[in-house]
Amino acid sequence: MKAAEFDRLYSIYAKRLLYIAYKYTKDLYQAEDIVQESFLKAYKKIHTIEDNSKLGGWLSAITARTAIDFLRSEKRRNWLVMDDSMLEPLLGGNGYETSTEETVHLRLFKETISDSLKNLSKEFQEVLVLKIQYGLKENEIASLLDMKSATVKTRLYRARKQLKQLVGA
């Protein structure tokens, strides 16, 4: 495929792929990077496509998989980053300023949660991190991990139950 033809493909499909990438990342800049990476992958493998009518679906699949890979690599880098607002309901906080002791207890609790999370199986870690850290809904996690929504709900339930046992709450 010639460069001019590939430029035309880019102009036709770039917005669609940006939408797909943004749907996964919820960040415009990351979505743009994913689209760029997707087009690079597509350019290298464009000779393998036999039916040009399926080009849009093929590019969409590449973009979705690239976005999933990106989220997985992000997950590995940032295990579980919880802010105070996420832990407040667990601790019964009222949103008022906390004392130094409460701050220390909160940090220790965060460390305990993070350490305990590492003891969960990979399948439980995966769904729990996508739910808590990235704020994805069950159906989004299901499509991201290519599984049924019921499976995600079951894994989330079991992961929370197991985490609760590990923390001793």
CATH code where residue 160 lies? 1.10.10.10
Same structural domain, 68 and 90 = no
Same structural domain, 62 and 133 = no
Q: Single out the residue in 77, 111, 137 at which a domain terminates.
A: 77
Report DSSP letters for 117-163, one per residue: HHTS-HHHHHHHHHHHTS---HHHHHHHHTS-HHHHHHHHHHHHHHH
Q: How many domains does the chain have?
A: 2
Same structural domain, 93 and 55 = no
Same structural domain, 143 and 88 = yes
Residue 158 near residue 124, CB atoms below 8 Å: yes
Quick: pLDDT tens for 92-116: 555 555 578 777 877 787 777 777 7
Residue 94 near residue 84, CB atoms below 8 Å: no
Same structural domain, 94 and 139 = yes
* Run of H or E residues at 83: none
Domain of 163 in residue numbering reads as 84-167
The C-alpha atoms of residue 150 and residue 169 are separated, in whole angstroms, by 26
CATH code where residue 53 lies? 1.10.1740.10
Same structural domain, 55 and 92 = no
What is the per-residue pLDDT for 169? 55
Same structural domain, 135 and 102 = yes
Whole-model pTM: value is 0.46
Same structural domain, 36 and 73 = yes
Quick: pLDDT tens for 103-156: 787 778 777 777 777 888 888 888 887 887 777 788 888 888 888 889 989 988
